[in-house]
Structure 1
Amino acid sequence: MAAAAAPDHLFNLRNNLYLGSYQAAINNSDLPILSSEDAVERDCLVYRSYIALGSYQLVINEIDSSAATPLQAVKLLAQYLSNPHDKESIIASLKEWLADPAIGNNATLRLIAGIIFMHEEDYSEALKHTNAGGTMELHALNVQIFIKMHRSDYAEKQLRVMQQIDEDHTLTQLENAWLNLAVGGSKIQEAYLIFQDFSEKYPMTGLILNGKAVCCMHMGNFDEAETLLLEALNKDAKDPETLANLVVCSLHLGKSSSRFLSQLKLTHPEHILVKRASSAEDSFERAVQSVA
């Protein structure tokens, strides 16, 4: 008989991170005796949850230079996100580590590299480090990168790999939903059902609410979308995706979106919607000047 698989002590912790229950991930991270490898992964998941909550400095302060490679990679992500003026030297350090044969192939380091290069919109560089896969998170990030590149055909191939490994995995389901949203049309309803399933199985998070709301907007149900987004805003008043989606939703409902856009400008000045709005304002100003 085949030996039973060892229990996955980190399952709930991972799931909380994937679904956006960051505080729950942190609060429930005091787990029974873990192997040293699992303990490092647990700490990575907890620190990534802190990063998702914007507590960059805590992560930078707590991970010292003697920590394991995966933790050093997570610290680098916190430094990258907290210090927009020092991105060049942080990316230089990252490239140095990736070129080091001793640590360059570490799955967490490759994942963080993919995330950072995705932020930089350097998708080919991101894929250099993520494309080989090796973990469900790396496969999931590949799907995200291909969606960003408008290559839903490649994203679909990656999703099929994930489905072959574990069709019911939270990340497989999530990437299926995001890909359905990217493809659009009749796939929107399928995406909605995945988010609906999550909302019945797990505590409601901003990520699930935003997913459902975007599906609703695609289907023209802007009133329902607004209700979901306001619920998400109650959970996190500074979440950039919630604010951006509320701007779009309000415009479709004929309501003022200026308050949500102002909040987004204050908390996330680099957000693509803020940049587009500023660019539109500049164009308008130039047009006014030219006829004045």
Structure 2
Amino acid sequence: MASPDHLFSLRNNFYLGAYQAAINNSDVPNLSSEDAIERDCLVYRSYIALGSYQLVINEIDPSAPTPLQAVKLLALYLSGPENKESAISSLQEWLSDPAVGSNSVLRLIAGIIYMHEQDYNEALKHTNAGGTMELHALNVQIFIKMHRSDYAEKQLKIMQQIDEDHTLTQLANAWLNLAVGGSKIQEAYLIFQDFSEKFPMTTLVLNGKAVCCMHMGHFDEAETLLLEALNKDAKDAETLANLYVCCLHLGKQSSRFLSQLKLSHPNHTLVKRMVSAEESFDRAVQTVA
């Protein structure tokens, strides 16, 4: 008989973006040393998701196990542009060390960091072998970013064979459906709807539903969902970006959301695209003037 999964609820909260709930309910008794490390990784990654990078950097001791050191590297990488190079250089050093280089959490963090760097081939070097559901889910995300939904589908099939009902399998299915578009959008919406009925609503699930609604042309419903997400987290990057796009389609005041996004998340893809478009426009005007 399989032993009970003590971390199921904690993992689920983390996957669905209920980061504070993951932290608040992390005091799980009777954990093996391996489970305790996984629990600590999930808690610290939840703090990272909430932007508390310095807390993670301060609390993880240099003598901590490899998975926690990897999480600390992610906090360092995200804590500011001045720390990126040293985080990547430490990461490369760890990955080349045969004693720890194959650790699944280290490979996962490598994939996340290189995905941030938009170096998808380098990310795949470390994630492609899989080994955990999170690595497979990250592969799905990377292939979608590379516009290779055929490879993403292969990864999803592996996940479905392992556990079709796993939260990450369902999420990966929804991401792929959104990427493929067309009739698949309705399927993605139903997955997010199912999550919202089974678990407390998070900004991640609300944004998922809202993006599906926008794809289907239901901008009023999308706006309602996104305003609910904004009430939960007024600085969430995806909520602000999606609200900006949604309000443009509705002909409503949208510049405030873009201003907030520029202030809170200057490196967001939407901000970078807008800045690039504005610069191109200014250059075009100058050639005509």
Q: Under a length normalisation based on structure 2, what TM-score does the superposition of the two structures give?
A: 0.99
Which amino acid in structure 2 is aligned with residue 77 of structure 1?
L
- In structure 2, the partner of 1:84 is 81
Q: Distance in 2 between matches of 1:50 and 1:19?
A: 14
CA displacement, residues 72-105 of structure 1 (integer Å, 9 cap, x when unaligned): 0000000000021231221111011011010000
Residue 287 of structure 1 and its aligned partner are, at CA, apart by: 2.7
Q: Does 1:285 align with 2:285?
A: no
Q: Distance in 2 between matches of 1:90 and 1:44?
A: 18
Residue 279 of structure 1 and its aligned partner are, at CA, apart by: 1.3
- Determine which of 48, 65, 70 is the counterpart of 1:68: 65
State the aligned residue count.
289
Q: RMSD of the alignment, in Å?
A: 0.7
- In structure 1, the partner of 2:149 is 152
Q: Distance in 2 between matches of 1:105 and 1:86?
A: 24
Q: Distance in 1 between matches of 2:268 and 2:163?
A: 34
Q: Distance in 2 between matches of 1:288 and 1:156?
A: 44
- Determine which of 242, 255, 259 is the counterpart of 2:256: 259
Moved over 3 A (4+): none
Q: Distance in 2 between matches of 1:34 and 1:246?
A: 42
Residue 220 of structure 1 and its aligned partner are, at CA, apart by: 0.2
Residue 286 of structure 1 and its aligned partner are, at CA, apart by: 2.2
CA displacement, residues 175-228 of structure 1 (integer Å, 9 cap, x when unaligned): 000000000000000000000000000000000000000000000000000000
- Determine which of 85, 98, 101 is the counterpart of 2:98: 101
Which amino acid in structure 2 is aligned with residue 23 of structure 1?
Q
Q: Distance in 1 between matches of 2:36 and 2:83?
A: 30
Q: Distance in 2 between matches of 1:127 and 1:284?
A: 36
- In structure 2, the partner of 1:236 is 233
Which amino acid in structure 2 is aligned with residue 200 of structure 1?
E
- In structure 2, the partner of 1:173 is 170
Match of 1:132, SS? coil
Q: Distance in 1 between matches of 2:81 and 2:45?
A: 18
Residue 62 of structure 1 and its aligned partner are, at CA, apart by: 0.3
Which amino acid in structure 1 is aligned with residue 165 of structure 2?
D
Q: Distance in 2 between matches of 1:141 and 1:284?
A: 36
Equivalent runs, 1:126-275 vs 2, <5 Å: 126-275=123-272
Structure 1, unpaired ranges of 5+ = none
- In structure 2, the partner of 1:20 is 17
Residue 290 of structure 1 and its aligned partner are, at CA, apart by: 2.9
Residue 6 of structure 1 and its aligned partner are, at CA, apart by: 0.7
Query: Quick one: percent identity of the two aligned structures?
Result: 85
Q: Distance in 2 between matches of 1:13 and 1:74?
A: 17
- In structure 2, the partner of 1:44 is 41
Q: Distance in 1 between matches of 2:142 and 2:246?
A: 26
- Determine which of 84, 104, 110 is the counterpart of 1:113: 110
Match of 1:290, SS? helix
Residue 230 of structure 1 and its aligned partner are, at CA, apart by: 0.4
Q: Distance in 2 between matches of 1:281 and 1:164?
A: 47
Match of 2:38, SS? helix
Q: 247-256 or 68-77: which moved more? A: 247-256
Residue 140 of structure 1 and its aligned partner are, at CA, apart by: 0.4
Which amino acid in structure 2 is aligned with residue 261 of structure 1?
L
Which amino acid in structure 2 is aligned with residue 188 of structure 1?
I
Q: Under a length normalisation based on structure 1, what TM-score does the superposition of the two structures give?
A: 0.98
Q: 88-97 or 216-225: which moved more? A: 88-97
Q: Distance in 2 between matches of 1:204 and 1:91?
A: 35
Which amino acid in structure 1 is aligned with residue 7 of structure 2?
L
